[in-house]
Chains A and B, each alone.
Chain A
Amino acid sequence: MKIIISNSSNLPIYEQIARQIKNQIMSGELREGEPLPSIRKLAHELQISVITTKRAYDDLEREGFLDTVGGKGTFVSVQNKDLMREKKMKIVEDKLNEAVSQAKMLGIDLEALKVMLSLLFREDE
Chain B
Amino acid sequence: MDSVLEIKRLRKEYKGFTLNDVSFSLPEGFIMGLIGPNGAGKTTIIKLVMNLIRRNAGEIKVFGLDNIRSEAEIKARIGFVYDNPFFYDDISLKSLKSAIAPFYPKWDERLFQKLMEEFDLPLKKKFKTLSHGMKMKFALAIAMSHDADLLILDEPTAGLDPVFRIELLDRLAALMENERKSVLFSTHITTDLERIADYITFIKDGEIVFTAAKDEILENWAVVKTGGDRFESDGVPGLRGYRRSEYGVEALTSDAGAARQALSRDDVLERASLEDIMFFMSKGERHG
A40 touches B215 (CB 8 A): no
Q: What per-residue 1/0 map shows which CB atoms of A14-40 lie under 8 Å from chain B?
A: 100000000000000000000000101
B196 touches A48 (CB 8 A): yes
B177 touches A14 (CB 8 A): no
Query: Which A11-69 residues have C-beta < 8 A from chain B?
Result: 12-14, 38, 40-41, 43-44, 47-52, 55
Name the interface size band of chain A: 10 to 19
Q: Which one, B39-47, B113-121, B168-176, is touching chain A?
A: B168-176
Residue count of chain B within 8 Å CB distance of chain A: 22
Query: Which B192-222 residues have C-beta < 8 A from chain A?
Result: 195-198, 213-215, 218-219
Q: Smallest distance from the beta carbon of B225 to chain A beta carbons, Å?
A: 14
- Residues of chain A within 8 A (CB-CB) of B176 are 40, 43-44, 50
A55 touches B196 (CB 8 A): no
Any chain B CB within 8 A of the CB of A6? no
Residue of B nearest to A37 (CB): B177
A55 touches B215 (CB 8 A): yes
B173 touches A44 (CB 8 A): yes
- Residues of chain A within 8 A (CB-CB) of B215 are 12-14, 49, 51-52, 55
- Residues of chain A within 8 A (CB-CB) of B270 are 10
A47 touches B177 (CB 8 A): no
Any chain A CB within 8 A of the CB of B152? no
Any chain A CB within 8 A of the CB of B179? yes
B214 touches A40 (CB 8 A): no
Residue of B nearest to A39 (CB): B179
- Residues of chain B within 8 A (CB-CB) of A52 are 215
Q: Smallest distance from the beta carbon of A79 to chain B beta carbons, Å?
A: 28
Residues of B whose CB lies within 8 Å of any CB of A are: 29-31, 169-170, 173-174, 176-179, 195-198, 213-215, 218-219, 270-271
What 5 pairs across the A-B complex have the smallest Cβ distances? A49-B198, A40-B177, A44-B173, A44-B177, A51-B198
Known A38-B177, A51-B30; 15 more pairs at CB < 8 Å: A13-B215, A40-B179, A43-B173, A43-B177, A43-B196, A44-B174, A48-B195, A49-B195, A49-B197, A49-B198, A49-B214, A49-B215, A50-B198, A51-B214, A55-B215
